[in-house]
Structure 1
Amino acid sequence: MNNDAQQATGSKEPSGNLSTARQHDQTSAARDEISPQREKALLDAMLRYQVGIDPDRLGSVLDLAAIGIVNSGWRNGPVEDWHAGDGPLSDGDMLRVNAHTTWRIREIARRWRTDLSLTAQSPIAALDALETDDVNWLAARIFRWLINPSRRLPTAVKLVDLAGDDLGEFTEHVNGTLGSFAATAERRGARYALYQAAAHGGLACPHWWGHTNLAGTRPHLRSHPGRLRPFALGTRRILEDPAFTRTSAGSGPQPSPANPPRPALGS
């Protein structure tokens, strides 16, 4: 770059030392990147030793993943504004709604598991054989239940009445969260996506209803104030993706002939 160009742009040629330092940083970053296999192993260790579940058991991972999905898709979106300050959701309301939503998403996930001819005791490795549409169905089913404007909360208020003008913003938040969950499953596999969600639920929501920390005790319901998400919001959106249009009509994943599909859960 000549002097005139430097003056026009306000930039300078990097010195040799700076250029060398940048190359060193890039080399170090590349060397420090963990492989997908290593990352999955770290998630396995987190779930096993920090959260305290058996990450090889499908039922444990799926139940905890429900907490992570609810915390990200429901609790940490516009709902927080409805709860803050003079919002329409009191602390008690938030506790009840969080617990009910977690129970409902867990039931949807368990039905999905059963329709795939899997059980709570099935090895988590069984997820490695799933098709993309199988996970799309789960994401779309959870999405449709969460955003249903006629859904009545345990506080006896309908979602549309609670959300008011924020219903569109809430729908987009859930759209991005569940779309990113499905995109992660498509890119890295269903096991990895559920590991991520379960690790988030296990570490960010230790006092949440249904958490393993509460096993054998009376659940102490407390909503977690964190803003963590198990999946980074990406560009994939359930509402605009034809893949979800195919799976959102209630057909569900394809079970084995020995386990015919049951009717879809009601909203």
Structure 2
Amino acid sequence: MMKKELNQMSFLDHLEELRWLLVRSTIAILVMACATYFISDYLFDTILFGPTRPTFFTYTFLCDLSHQIGIAESICITEFPFIIQNTEMEGQVNMFVWMCILAGFILAFPYILWQIWGFISPALYEKEKKNAVVFIVTSSLLFFMGVLFGYFFVIPMSVNFVATFSVSEMVTNQFTLDSYMGMVKTSILASGLFFELPIIIYFLTKLDLVTPKFLRDSRRYAIVIVLIISAIVTPPDVVSQTIVAIPMLIVFELSILISAIVYKNQQRKSKTIS
């Protein structure tokens, strides 16, 4: 279907455009998910189950860091006293499919952004439409940074905490495959989408739904929320909590800066028009 001008498109035309956006995005995700089938052994053994091993990069990095700054040896991990088990007949098959789809979504994310840009671009000015490459590249980089942050910091910290926490020596940790993979999916997607906050704030500011003043006034609450989240997903040591909290606070501060720039430009344009 040829794309119509925004002022000529009816509500049903917009729904049709949205439908094709979803169809093309779904096809892209499925294609990339099928591609991950050929590296499924590496995907599961090395990537997804990597944080369950004491030799994982994050654990060795924190251990080396603790030696350099002279804090307790307890931060170094030698073993994880738990096993991961499957308790459902189709559990491993279902998990295989859904984790391949998750990998497909991550790999297809730049294409999905391109589709989203094509959907919203008719509502933008000509000058703004030329920023398609900047939007897609920036948003993709932020998303991938968030995914890496979730994988290398949030997941290992969470695994370390739940694996070493015990209410009694009588209790043995035996985590189900579904609960472990659920934590992996949530951590990766939540971190990736959280790092998209500057882009979201950019558009909300353009629509006059958010102002820099509102974000600055909310800073104290954001700091408290970030510290609470970092305290929940990390072991009870300052180093781990700081490593998780600082990137999240940087993302929030970057969002404030972007909002301030956009708001200032809009105010300047309003004065020029008046």
TM over 0.5, yes or no? Answer: no
Instruction: Name the TM-score, length of structure 1 as normaliser.
Output: 0.29
For normalisation by structure 2, the TM-score amounts to: 0.28
Higher relative contact order (CA 8 A, sep 6+): 1
Higher helix share: 2
